[in-house]
Amino acid sequence: MREYHRYAVKFLQWSRFSKHKPPECALLPPFLHMLRQQLLTSRATVWIILDSKAIGKALRPEKSHHFPHIEGPGFSLPASWLILHLSVNQDPVIPPFLRAVFERGEPARSRLLERDARTLPRSTIDSESVLRSLFENAHHFGIFRLQVEPSNPGTVSVVLASPSIRDMMGIEDLYDFSKWFEHIHTDDIERVKEANQRSLREGSSYNQTARLFNPKEGRWRWIQTISSPGYDARGRLSHFDGMMIDLTEQKEAELALQNLTATLEQRVRERTEEIERRRQTAESLRDILHMINSNMPLQEFLQKAVELAARQLGAGACVLHHLDLEREVISQLAGYGIEGIFEVRGERPFSALGPSGGADYLKGLLRKKPTFGNYGPLPDRIEAIRNDPNIPDPIKAERIALRTRFAASFAAPLYIQDQLYGGIVFYYTEPQEFKEDQIQLGLTFAGQFALAIENAMLREQAAEAAVLSERNRIARDLHDAVSQTLFSASLVAEVLPKLWERNPAAARQKLEELRQLTKGALSEMRTLLLELRPDALADMDLAELIKYLANACTGRTLIPVDMSVEGNWDPPPAVKEAAYRIAQEALNNVIKHSEASHVTVALDRDEHHVRLEVRDNGRGFDPSEAPAGHYGLGIMQERADMAEGALHLHSSPGEGTSVMFEWREKEK
């Protein structure tokens, strides 16, 4: 028999077995399982189990009886049974697995206990078969041992490596340790080398994950390498036992999950930004609608709206134009961010739009389509304008200033009742993608501008119509009231001289009638002047205003109107106007419908209360049977409600009519 070199003994130093039982696979560390599997593949028929004391005596007989642990150069063994040797056909054999590890041996001088492998328990043989399969057929992990020269820790050699490591790393020679570092990712190589050198220098555990390029597969793999240091009897670092684990699938799954998470986060972020953008847009549109409904002057509205629209679309400038198709002129209505480029509220003929770069804009407006685009890179877009001889110098300076400050533009048409009114242009400082939502938002703002302009036009038309209607009403009142009164007064004045000669007493009656007619005509004229100047109501005393109405009523009908006034407090303007309008409508009803012979008007007022009553002794009516809107009842009620007062109507057929307005100041 031949004794194995002490390094072989060291290789087996952690396999401890009972002296009285055959080896149990469950107690073996993985590397020893692999050794036993290699022994079995050599068709071993005999196991040789040596007592460690015998090994120690064979190596150093003079000290064997002193050693509970067997010591030798580079190894230390506990005093226990060890698998040490096998034979084939009764001849000692060193398996190929150990040949590269062991050095030459010497004849053994020890007691040997031989056992035939066929006498081992079946479970042990099965376990060895499983371990061999695990070692040779592993695909996602592999184990290894690195031997370190104790006298020179920088010298490392591979003494054991699973075949699966070759597949993971894609290298042919597993036992060339330098090859292990050739294909590490550049982002990981420095970290891996530093950790490797630190483990060798400090004798510490190693645990690093790195990306390795597998040249056979043409792809990157994630490999985690874990190893623990081992020491010799002198406490010197002698080896590392470790494992490589292929984490590629796990890392790819993690990366896929990270990418999915990032994608989801990006989508959530984009959705959140979109929601916020839509919220801001909705608020902007709401603000525009509020301004439209607030009867804000058009020019003030347009100036505020172009700034609001530019901010919402992320534009640096915005210009609103009006096109006069008959005159073929484009004029600027409002602008934001265009200082130093365009003339404020200037106009330009269509023929000048070509040199100024607005021809495509005009074409798009006429076709009812938006136009948009980027201007190209600097300085090329400036040089093209500067070198164009067809552009007049003033327009050239304008275009250069525009293209220097802005890189893109977007224009949308404004249509009112299907008629082209103008357009709105947004200028951007950076190139744009002009996505569909951006274009639609611009068109939405253009629609709001068109709505505001149309409303302003309608308000202007309504105001003109109201003025015309008011003029017609005043003309009718002049004809129906003042003209008739003056005509009646002129007739009385013509007969007075002759009547005075024949009947002075009757003439005096006519003279009083003439006085009433002229007084009533004067009051009618003052009332009509108040209609032309509504603000004058707030400046006049309420009692004086009611007297004008009473005198006008008498002047038109010669019905005597008795008026009584209590107190001299002038109520708030809203209450004053309500009382005046209710009295006016009540006296108009007296003139038109009552057939009364006498009217009384009573005004009672103090600092907290106003009461006005108009009563006649006419034919009266049944309020429950009065048609809706008849006698101006609805108008009088609205006036009372607006002033936060109360209207009381009392009437019956043959009993006359009483209309009373009452207002009380609310407690604060």
Flag the least confident range among 93-102, 494-503, 651-660: 93-102
Residue range 115-136, pLDDT digits in tens: 344 444 555 556 667 666 666 7
| Long-range contacts of the stretch 629-633 (C-beta < 8 A, 24+) | 631/589, 631/593, 632/585, 632/588, 632/589
Residue range 433-450, pLDDT digits in tens: 998 888 888 888 888 888
- More confident call, 534 vs 263: 263
Dist CA 344 CA 331 (whole Å): 10
On the question of pLDDT at 479 being above 50, the answer is yes
Q: Is 331 within 8 Å of 338 (Cβ atoms)?
A: no
For the chain, which domains are there? 2-249 (3.30.450.20), 295-434 (3.30.450.40), 537-668 (3.30.565.10)
The pLDDT of residue 603: 93
Question: Exposed, middle or buried: residue 4 (CB in 10 Å: 0-12, 13-18, 19+)?
Answer: buried
Read off φ and ψ for residue 310, nearest 5 degrees: -60, -45
Percent of the chain scoring above 70 in pLDDT: 72
Confidence of residue 545 (pLDDT cuts 50, 70, 90): confident
The pLDDT of residue 11: 38
On the question of pLDDT at 521 being above 80, the answer is no
Residue range 326-348, pLDDT digits in tens: 888 888 888 898 887 877 667 88
Tokens describing residue 421: 């009114």
Specify which residues 423 forms β-bridges with: 321, 413
With CA atoms as reference, report the closest residue to 338 among 443, 425, 413, 396. Answer: 425
The pLDDT of residue 534: 62
Flag the least confident range among 168-177, 436-445, 547-556: 547-556
Dist CA 96 CA 99 (whole Å): 5
Query: Looking at residues 480-508, what average pLDDT do you find?
Result: 72
With CA atoms as reference, report the closest residue to 440 among 318, 323, 312. Answer: 312
Tokens describing residue 52: 């460690």
Dist CA 106 CA 108 (whole Å): 6
Residue range 267-308, pLDDT digits in tens: 888 888 878 877 877 777 777 777 777 777 888 888 888 888
On the question of pLDDT at 146 being above 70, the answer is yes
The predicted model scores a pTM of: 0.44
With CA atoms as reference, report the closest residue to 521 among 476, 483, 474. Answer: 483
Q: Is 340 within 8 Å of 468 (Cβ atoms)?
A: no
The pLDDT of residue 9: 38
Read off φ and ψ for residue 218, nearest 5 degrees: 70, 35
The pLDDT of residue 361: 84
The pLDDT of residue 51: 39
Query: Looking at residues 169-197, what average pLDDT do you find?
Result: 91
Q: How far is CA 344 from each of CA 356, 395, 449, rounded to the nearest angstrom? A: 16, 15, 19
On the question of pLDDT at 112 being above 60, the answer is no
Please give the mean pLDDT across all residues of the chain: 75
The pLDDT of residue 213: 94
Dist CA 125 CA 160 (whole Å): 22
Q: Is 519 within 8 Å of 554 (Cβ atoms)?
A: yes
On the question of pLDDT at 647 being above 90, the answer is yes
Q: Is 111 within 8 Å of 51 (Cβ atoms)?
A: yes
- Alpha helices of 533-632 — where are they, by DSSP H? 536-539, 542-557, 573-589
Omega cis (within 30) before 379: yes
Confidence of residue 514 (pLDDT cuts 50, 70, 90): confident
Whole-angstrom distance between the N-terminal and C-terminal Cα of the chain?
A: 122
The pLDDT of residue 162: 86
Residue range 40-91, pLDDT digits in tens: 444 333 333 333 444 443 333 333 333 334 334 343 434 333 443 333 333 3
For strand 329-336 and strand 347-349, is the pairing parallel, antiparallel, or unpaired? antiparallel
Q: What is the amino acid identity at position 548?
A: Y
The pLDDT of residue 483: 62
- More confident call, 73 vs 497: 497
- Which residue is listed with tokens 């200028």? 427
3-state DSSP call for residue 112? coil
The pLDDT of residue 220: 93
SS3 content of the chain, % helix, strand, coil (to 5): 50, 25, 25
Identity of the highest mean pLDDT range in 19-33, 445-459, 534-548, 618-632: 445-459
The pLDDT of residue 480: 61
The pLDDT of residue 188: 94
The pLDDT of residue 345: 65
For strand 561-566 and strand 599-606, is the pairing parallel, antiparallel, or unpaired? parallel
